[in-house]
């Protein structure tokens, strides 16, 4: 099984509530069926909260090398450091001193590369030192919310429909194939409705069969 459709307290935009890499997944502790989630993503599942909210996927960005948190998440960073040590996971945690704190909406990344939003003031080299990948600062399809527009794994990517003309460029940057799609019955900011890694993905209950077919193909499951 590589797919689970689910919601959290009737919320289908589950990408705001968690993220996954090929080493671990962080999800809101409000998620039910955590065993089913682990069966799909096939990595350790770490329930948590950020700033006393469920918005784990909104406030965080991550690849297998590192996890980036906003400046107000110092307490959470300490707890997650302990959890990573307990799980014997070599993951760097970085705190961004930036006014834009919806980090999950502002970084699209996998284990090869990252595209970061022009909203950030820090330089690409600083991100490269954190993430240990090539970093490019630029919009996607004229949207500065690049993380919201593009969800990337080490197997594929799903992009905002406005990015259709950039697909070949995105394939070159991230080193994987991908395609445009929508989630939750036509919503174009795809990251908001997906939690995905190379092994599987979660999406909201409102994501249609046609949308799932597109996502399956874009993420390399077909």
Q: How many domains does the chain have?
A: 1
Which range marks the domain in which residue 133 is found?
Answer: 3-218
Provide the mean pLDDT of the chain. 97
Please give the average per-residue pLDDT across 194-207, as a whole number. 98
pLDDT at 222 over 90: no
pLDDT digit string (tens) for 143-199? 999 999 999 999 999 999 999 999 999 999 999 999 999 999 999 999 999 999 999
> Exposed, middle or buried by CB within 10 Å (0-12, 13-18, 19+), for 142?
exposed
Question: According to the model, what pLDDT value does residue 16 have?
Answer: 98
CB atoms within 10 A of CB 181: 26
Given a cut of 90, whether residue 98 has pLDDT beyond it is yes
Percent residues over pLDDT 90 in the chain: 99
* Whole-number pLDDT of residue 54: 97
Read off the tokens for 59: 């406030």
Name, in order, each residue with C-beta under 8 angstroms of 28's C-beta and a sequence gap of 6 or more: 8, 17, 18, 47, 48, 49, 54, 55, 56
The mean per-residue pLDDT over the stretch 113-130 comes to: 97
pTM of the model: 0.96
CATH of the domain at 116: 3.75.10.10
């Amino acid at each position: 099984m590589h797919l689970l459709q689910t919601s959290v307290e009737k919320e289908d935009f589950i990408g705001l509530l968690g993220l996954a890499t090929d080493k671990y997944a962080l999800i809101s502790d409000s998620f039910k069926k955590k065993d089913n989630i682990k069966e799909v993503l096939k990595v350790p599942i770490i329930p948590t909260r950020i700033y006393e909210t469920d918005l784990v996927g909104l406030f965080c960005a991550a690849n297998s090398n590192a996890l980036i948190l906003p400046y107000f998440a110092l307490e959470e960073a300490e707890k997650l450091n302990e959890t990573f040590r307990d799980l014997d996971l070599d993951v760097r945690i970085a705190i961004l001193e930036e006014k834009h704190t919806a980090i999950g909406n502002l970084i699209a990344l996998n284990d090869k590369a990252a595209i970061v939003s022009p909203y950030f003031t820090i330089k690409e080299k600083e991100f490269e030192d954190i993430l240990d990948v090539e970093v490019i600062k630029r919009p996607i399809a004229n949207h500065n919310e690049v993380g919201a527009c593009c969800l990337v794994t080490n197997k594929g990517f799903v992009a905002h429909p406005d990015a259709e003309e950039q697909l070949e460029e995105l394939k070159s940057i991230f080193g994987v194939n991908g395609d445009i799609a929508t989630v939750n019955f036509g919503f174009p900011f795809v990251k908001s409705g997906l939690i995905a890694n190379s092994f599987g993905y979660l999406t909201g209950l409102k994501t249609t069969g046609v949308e799932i077919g597109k996502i399956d193909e874009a993420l390399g499951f077909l």
